[in-house]
Chain A
């Protein structure tokens, strides 16, 4: 990956008062900017036009099945972890038309849709999210075919990453080697420092384009002390992870334990609501829907997010292969942590913790792995009745 910049270790300092210049620099180059906004009780990703749109002074409190916004004592712009949205909603939209077809006599013609290329900037991408984007890159761009819609959205993307200064209550990026320090995949990365009356960002340009944009923003070189301070913030974040997952031999662990009774335990709690798959930044399952209008002359095919938790996800003539809740939860977790590795060469989990936070019954993927690992030696218990 081409990550060179004129001085690779050069760190610069941007004062918060000048942060709007970054918006102007991007807008003047034709970028539409997406970033965090506080809305509906959460920090979500949407269009942002200036620094005043950002969730200044907000942080989040997260735990299993819990998410709450809380006021900070300072005016940090990025002082939260992650919310229910991930960047996949822009790169891999939840609903997208693939093509439309029109009847022509006894035949029909199909007109493919292609998303209009657009210049977009993502502002506030966490390290775990950079990894998640890379994971989806492998899914949609790294195989025998490329997903053309994803490729279009992925091009002309300007990424401003944020090194986390706050560890989320359900975060475990350290366990998954995906953060909190952003190490690749960005044009600019920033570490926010709010301390003793100062409020600035220590910046790093990850690409020549990032360096170019930074040149249009008032900044100065960061001192060694300032750089150290920023690095210490991130190091502290790494010490305060809300969760932990032992990933040693995890693929083999899950492959060995398809019949572990723990799956039945979690099935007794799981509602198959599919929240986890919707908030997960790497889940990519989709369905296609063929629709026609009342005249029958015009048909369309739409691509929509889907979830392996739905009962008819695995339906074939007459019934579903994975009829029970147990099999569906097992499918999701085994895919995310084990079969994904065989399919794409890396874990599908980036340790963002969203699935834990947004599960209405607080099922915790780290706890489930621990339970299987710890009780594996105990051997299978007598099987209980299946929950359908």
Chain B
């Protein structure tokens, strides 16, 4: 029986090119989740046991700065991947995430996927290739934010 999430995962750009057996495994680790507006997806410091693929809505990646309160660093929306701390020890979220709109997402069991990647290096390589790209894009976007291009004298 085909997991109802399989076609969703297969279709998406992020997972394209993966072998059928890998898609099936990933689908098996995934479930649909729904967040109301303002819901905490994860707290900074929590174990990174899940990562997300946003289908609809908006999630703010935030940090609590003592005298400033929660500061949003970046937002991710439909089609974006949320979270890579699950890939690297100590597997804990370095930032928090909170929705700013009602949000639907796919949540993936990170523990399960980590174990499988150790076993099946092919899957591991494919996932790491894709996540490297996400991290690189985020880093590039962050660097542009850092430049303060819209500041005076930019």
Number of A residues whose C-beta is below 8 Å from B?
Answer: 3
Give the CA-CA distance A317 to B149 in the complex, in Å. 12
Question: What is the minimal beta-carbon distance from A161 to any residue of chain B, in angstroms?
Answer: 52
Residues of chain B lying within 8 A (CB to CB) of residue A317: 152-154
Instruction: Give the interface SS of chain A, mostly helix, strand, loop or mixed.
Output: loop
Question: What is the minimal beta-carbon distance from A313 to any residue of chain B, in angstroms?
Answer: 19
Give the CA-CA distance A317 to B152 in the complex, in Å. 8
Instruction: Give the interface SS of chain B, mostly helix, strand, loop or mixed.
Output: loop
Give the CA-CA distance A384 to B153 in the complex, in Å. 28
Interface size class of B (residues with CB under 8 A): under 10
Residues of chain A lying within 8 A (CB to CB) of residue B153: 317-319
Hey, what's the 0/1 contact readout for B112-154 against A, CB within 8 Å counting as 1?
0000000000000000000000000000000000000000111
Give the CA-CA distance A95 to B154 in the complex, in Å. 33
Hey, what's the 0/1 contact readout for A314-328 against B, CB within 8 Å counting as 1?
000111000000000
Question: What is the minimal beta-carbon distance from B41 to any residue of chain A, in angstroms?
Answer: 39
Residues of chain B lying within 8 A (CB to CB) of residue A318: 152-154
Residues of chain A lying within 8 A (CB to CB) of residue B152: 317-318
Give the CA-CA distance A317 to B153 in the complex, in Å. 6
Nearest-neighbor residue (CB-CB) of A319 within chain B: B153
Give the CA-CA distance A318 to B152 in the complex, in Å. 8
Question: What is the minimal beta-carbon distance from A321 to any residue of chain B, in angstroms?
Answer: 14
Give the CA-CA distance A319 to B153 in the complex, in Å. 8
Give the CA-CA distance A317 to B154 in the complex, in Å. 7
Give the CA-CA distance A157 to B80 in the complex, in Å. 71
Question: What is the minimal beta-carbon distance from B52 to any residue of chain A, in angstroms?
Answer: 40
Interface residues of A in 99-115 (CB under 8 A from B): none
Nearest-neighbor residue (CB-CB) of A318 within chain B: B153
Residues of chain B lying within 8 A (CB to CB) of residue A319: 153
Residues of chain A lying within 8 A (CB to CB) of residue B154: 317-318
Question: What is the minimal beta-carbon distance from A316 to any residue of chain B, in angstroms?
Answer: 11
Question: What is the minimal beta-carbon distance from A76 to any residue of chain B, in angstroms?
Answer: 59
Give the CA-CA distance A127 to B153 in the complex, in Å. 48
Interface residues of B in 8-53 (CB under 8 A from A): none
Give the CA-CA distance A341 to B154 in the complex, in Å. 33
Nearest-neighbor residue (CB-CB) of B151 within chain A: A318
Give the CA-CA distance A11 to B152 in the complex, in Å. 68
Nearest first, the 7 closest Cβ-Cβ pairs linking A and B are A318-B153, A317-B153, A318-B154, A317-B154, A318-B152, A317-B152, A319-B153
A-B contacts, 7 listed (Cβ < 8 Å): A317-B152, A317-B153, A317-B154, A318-B152, A318-B153, A318-B154, A319-B153
Which residues of chain B have a CB within 8 Å of any CB of chain A?
152-154
